Amino acid sequence: MSESSPALEILSRHPWFGKAGDQLASLAGRARAKAWTGGQTIFQRRENADSLVILVSGLVRLSLITEEGREVTVRMAAAGEVFGELGILDGEPRSTDATALTKVAGFTLAREDVWGLIEASGPFRKAVIGGLCSRLRETTAQLESIALMSIETRVARLFHHLAVDRRKEGGRIEVSLPYSQGELASLVGATRPKVNQAISQLLDRGALVRTKAGYSCHLEKLAELAQLDEI
């Protein structure tokens, strides 16, 4: 695989694999290109975990089905993110279902290739540990917000998260909402009517403004309503 391959470019920008140093090109050469259509299952809970996925484009929902048959969204994976890594690292079956919400393109890396890099590269090992700790903190924060915060606060935090990566000096930041109403409700642990009501409240307070492409976000107002210390 050439040095300018898409797999190498994506992996070099990832916070884990970017630490692989001289071994990255060899690893990228073993990556396998994959594509899924919207609505297609990528893997299912309790399946054997033989590879992880590096997402190049599209949106993937990681979810669980409760005993009552209700689907609960654990998180969304977007371009540049890795998912399916837990089973690779601990050898256990998949812990969630993974479903392509849009047309999705990515690369898979086999378990043995990832473990070969873990054993060979100290910087990569540290990056993996740091990434897993960050994921755990995010999950803890999500559970805290569902248990202790109002729906308006949860929705404000979600919009703030979407907007903060597109921060500009002053003014508003325009984002398109990459979820359906049902998926958004599942993410914040609420019903669709309650989420719609919360969005209306954010619109009334000037934290959001509807646009043709989605919403224009006011970071300072969102941070205040989301009870965040930093903008």
Residues 6+ apart with CB under 8 A from 206: 218, 221
What is the rounded average pLDDT of the residues 2-11? 72
Is 70 exceeded by the pLDDT of residue 147?
A: no
Q: How many angstroms separate the CA atoms of 110 and 81, rounded? A: 16
What per-residue confidence (pLDDT) applies to 1?
43
What is the rounded average pLDDT of the residues 169-194? 77
Query: Does the pTM exceed 0.75?
Result: no
pLDDT digits (tens, 9 = 90+) for 59-108: 898 988 877 777 777 888 888 888 999 899 899 999 999 999 889 999 99
DSSP line for 116-129? HHHHH-HHHHHHHH
User: How, if at all, do strands 32-36 and 97-100 pair?
Assistant: unpaired
Mean pLDDT taken over the chain: 85
Is 50 exceeded by the pLDDT of residue 155?
A: yes
HSE of 77 in the Cβ direction (CA atoms, 13 Å)? 27
What is the rounded average pLDDT of the residues 152-161? 85
